[in-house]
A and B are shown apart, each in its own frame.
Chain A
């Protein structure tokens, strides 16, 4: 279970606060969506959960299965099951995607006390997962995200997520840059990973993605706080009325 308690966050070396007392509880096995306008702090929340260093937590706590994540290195969090699907995945020239996947998988497996994948075992796993995501093995021989289309990048993120077997998935604007077919493929991949053992936080700007990944709960984030929470129907309300109502309240 993820518990975010009265979280205050600012950019390191700056005064401006981005998260202003955000609280959220995401029980095990549930999928929650966070929706909000640009600049409300959604991506900051994703980065802070994953442990990016450019932010400073001034108040509050983040508990993952009862343990505080604050002060933990990004790779330790990854070992504890935290996975962030990036809005803008980074390019790594010269490193084949397959090499990257295997290095990452073995790093988290080692940290979790699991044995390394053998080569045949790993290739078998990747072939099966890649096929489901409509990923060509040829694509995995190309360097990580270099020259990938928007859709390829996002599918590659989901493949990484499947291989690393996280227990907390944070998806940051996974729908951005996707056409409708790619969106369906990505959503199918995410839905296939839904399980009683896994919590997911889906961050999105538009309701569209939530037609495919139907959340258990929707939270509306405005100016660094959760302003309203509700069921999936809340997403539809937002789609028609926009965020203006909430923004007015915040201001």
Chain B
């Protein structure tokens, strides 16, 4: 029997090693009862001390959600989600928010360390002078550490949790919340609008250039808790902001639902750059466990010459359903989407973008790199459309897929709609496979099979990697290697 137990332990150890962010932090939490009802929506709103208008907004979203059905068009399969069997609210007990680092739960700080948060940011968290990345750390739905507020305030930038924004800046929240992703936009957006727990709020005033990269680390921690982050970023006329979002999650047996909404608004001459590295638990080798990620991300170039740029690196989650989009409303506005989606094991990715050209002389650019390994399925789904009045709309799309092994799938589903004869849309797509010859060539030069795959894949995604902020580049290269472990040999 000892031998059997040893085997089990060994297997367990391997699993944990493969997902190095698989651990749980023991922090006392306050939870709402399971299930979703008007009462739960009221409970959440009350817990957060929200004004009546916010509660009303949530309740209206909830009522709409009741009449909606889950979308089924994506190229993903999963068992039916019982929405009454989930918790919709959990928050660390110290909801007041610590006044200094000494008040921060040491376990939380240990968590940051395990997550490998870049030293620069750790330094910020530790209060070291001169570190320049502001971290609004979202830990199980409630922001517990916010730094650099003062310096940001000097530039007039508001960077706070959504809850705080609802309390402190209601005029901005009421004006912009739901203006890009309306309450009834889709099933998951409606759900999020009803029960969103927290998230980040950014407002950069007219003519201001945000003095640092804003960064938020999301982390799902509580068992069977849906995470419903809500992020709202507004760049007023001529403003500029770059925002980084990075994610990891602990190991889990049951599937976890995540349905975030991100809204970006860029007014005249404003620019928003939004970068994501998503590394949530993808499930074990047999496809068990893992996060369900149903996200609605959309940016609105509301003013002339506005620019919104999405860069994403997706390596995690069992299921990814995500289409960061741009509405190019203002004349001469510009949208960009740069994506790396890596899938391994039994992961399913259905991701892409929508570029909706409404204004005159708008342009967009899409570079998507999908890498499929193991038994995974990787789909690019994109829409490029030009409205009747979108004279001079231009788009360039390039979708490349790379296959590793012979059990995975790569799919490209581009939709192109031009209702204006002057629209100029270009679409390029390639699918290739890492050949045994290439791997052998690298191994002959001393690289292990896994190093060889990581090298080839990092070459494949180079165009997109270069779009990432420096802080993320090296991290991402490593992450891609880690994500593809076990894909060969």
Contact = CB atoms under 8 A, between A and B. Distances in A.
A104 interface: yes
Interface of B: 435-438, 440-449, 451, 455-456, 458-463
A91 to B, nearest CB: 8
Interface string A97-139: 0001001110110010000000000000000000000000000
Contact of A74 (B438, B440, B460, B461): B440
Interface string A18-42: 0000000000000000000000000
Contacts of B461: 94
Given A92-B438, A103-B447, A160-B445, 17 more contacts: A51-B443, A52-B440, A73-B449, A75-B444, A77-B444, A78-B444, A78-B445, A78-B446, A83-B444, A90-B437, A92-B442, A93-B459, A93-B460, A94-B459, A105-B446, A107-B451, A164-B446
Contacts of A84: 444
A168 to B, nearest CB: 12
B441 A90 contact: yes
A94 B460 contact: yes
Contacts of A75: 443-444, 446-449
Contacts of B440: 50, 52-53, 74
A104 B446 contact: yes
Nearest to B459: A94
A197 interface: no
Contacts of A89: 441
A103 B455 contact: yes
B402 to A, nearest CB: 10
Interface in A77-91: 77-79, 83-84, 86, 89-91
Given A92-B456, A93-B460, A111 B446 contact: yes
Contacts of B456: 92, 95
A74 B448 CA distance: 8
Contacts of A78: 443-446
Contacts of A94: 458-463
Contact of B443 (A74, A83, A100): A74
Q: Nearest 3 A-B pairs (CB), nearest first?
A: A94-B459, A95-B459, A108-B446
A79 B462 CA distance: 28
Interface residues of A, number: 31
B445 A95 contact: no
Given A54-B436, A107-B451, A73 B443 contact: yes
B405 to A, nearest CB: 14
A107 B458 contact: no
A91 B438 CA distance: 7
A171 to B, nearest CB: 13
Q: Which of B436, B438, B442 has the most CB of A within 10 A?
A: B442
Given A54-B436, A75-B448, A92 B443 contact: no
A93 to B, nearest CB: 6
15 contacts: A51-B443, A53-B436, A74-B443, A75-B443, A75-B447, A75-B449, A83-B444, A92-B442, A93-B460, A94-B458, A95-B456, A103-B451, A104-B447, A107-B447, A160-B445
A143 interface: yes
Interface in A134-169: 143, 160, 164
Which among A52, A75, A78, A89 has the greatest number of chain B C-beta atoms within 10 A? A75
B369 to A, nearest CB: 10
Nearest to B441: A90
Nearest to B460: A94
Nearest to B443: A74
B446 A79 contact: yes
A49 to B, nearest CB: 10
B291 to A, nearest CB: 29
Contacts of B447: 75, 103-104, 107
Contact of A95 (B443, B444, B455, B463): B455
B459 A74 contact: no
Contact of A104 (B436, B445, B449, B459): B445
Interface centre among B435, B441, B461, B462 (most CB of A within 10 A): B441
Contacts of B436: 53-54
Contacts of A90: 435, 437-438, 441
A107 B445 contact: yes
Contacts of A79: 446
Contacts of A103: 447, 451, 455
A143 B446 CA distance: 18
Q: Most B CB atoms within 10 A — which of A84, A104, A143?
A: A104
A167 to B, nearest CB: 14
A79 to B, nearest CB: 6
B430 to A, nearest CB: 10
Given A53-B436, A54-B436, A107-B451, A92 B444 contact: no
Q: Which of B437, B459, B462 has the most CB of A within 10 A?
A: B459
A108 B445 CA distance: 8
A216 to B, nearest CB: 25
B76 to A, nearest CB: 28
A203 to B, nearest CB: 15
Contacts of B451: 103, 107
Contacts of A107: 445-448, 451
